[in-house]
Amino acid sequence: MEGHLDSHSRTELPTILVVDDERSIVQLCKALLEAAGFHVLEAEGSSEALKICTQHDGPIDLLLTDLVLPPPDFQLSSTGNQFPHVNGHQLAVRAATIRNGLHIMLMSGNPDKELASHGIKRGSLPFVVKPFGKDELVQMVREVLAQPAPALNQIGNNQGGSDVDWFG
């Protein structure tokens, strides 16, 4: 029976896309989550994360992203840029549009300031505060994955669609 459980768990490992502009945070999350039995994809910025969301063949179950994602290099924006550098909240909106059923989890070292500056109410999205412990991260990821994925309802189209309601 144990062999059956092992083979089942191998084929159904949840896949988590970890995004942070600090490589050490990406590596830490990857090590902690893989040790807990998750498959981890890595991105060091929103542009790379959007490419992965668009081009990855397999499932992506959860996006774990830093809220503040400064562009690694300043680039002029162009209308043809399918993978722009955006902050973590904008990344979540775009990724959820690309990947139906994507779970979202944000992280930041200064949550109250960062959430307010992006117009996000505390508690509206799952959030982990840096620095975090292994157990805290793994438990929150499991809790988020156990809930239905949020549905996006964009409002305020006259404001460029930047206002987003999240429903869990």
**Would you say residue 161 lies in a domain?**
yes
| Tokens, residue 123 | 């508690």
For the stretch 133-155, pLDDT in tens is 999 999 999 999 999 887 764 32
**Would you say residue 126 lies in a domain?**
yes
Higher pLDDT: 82 or 63? It is 63
**Would you say residue 56 lies in a domain?**
yes
C-alpha 156/C-alpha 7 separation (Å) is 47
**Would you say residue 53 lies in a domain?**
yes
| Tokens, residue 119 | 């117009």
C-alpha 142/C-alpha 144 separation (Å) is 6
Q: What is the CATH number of the domain that holds 18?
A: 3.40.50.2300
Q: CB burial class (10 A; 0-12, 13-18, 19+) of residue 61? A: buried
Domain that holds residue 152: 14-72+82-167
pTM of the model: 0.77
Q: Rounded mean pLDDT of the chain?
A: 77
Question: What CA–CA distances, in Å, run from 100 to 94, 111, 123, 153, 155?
Answer: 11, 26, 22, 13, 18
Contact criterion met (CB below 8 Å) for 122 and 115: yes
**SS3 (DSSP) at 107:** strand
Q: Grade residue 86 by pLDDT with cuts at 50, 70 and 90.
A: confident
**Would you say residue 55 lies in a domain?**
yes
> For 123-132, what is the mean pLDDT?
80
**Would you say residue 100 lies in a domain?**
yes
**Alpha helix segments (H runs only) across the chain:** 2-11, 23-35, 46-55, 88-98, 111-117, 134-146
**Would you say residue 21 lies in a domain?**
yes
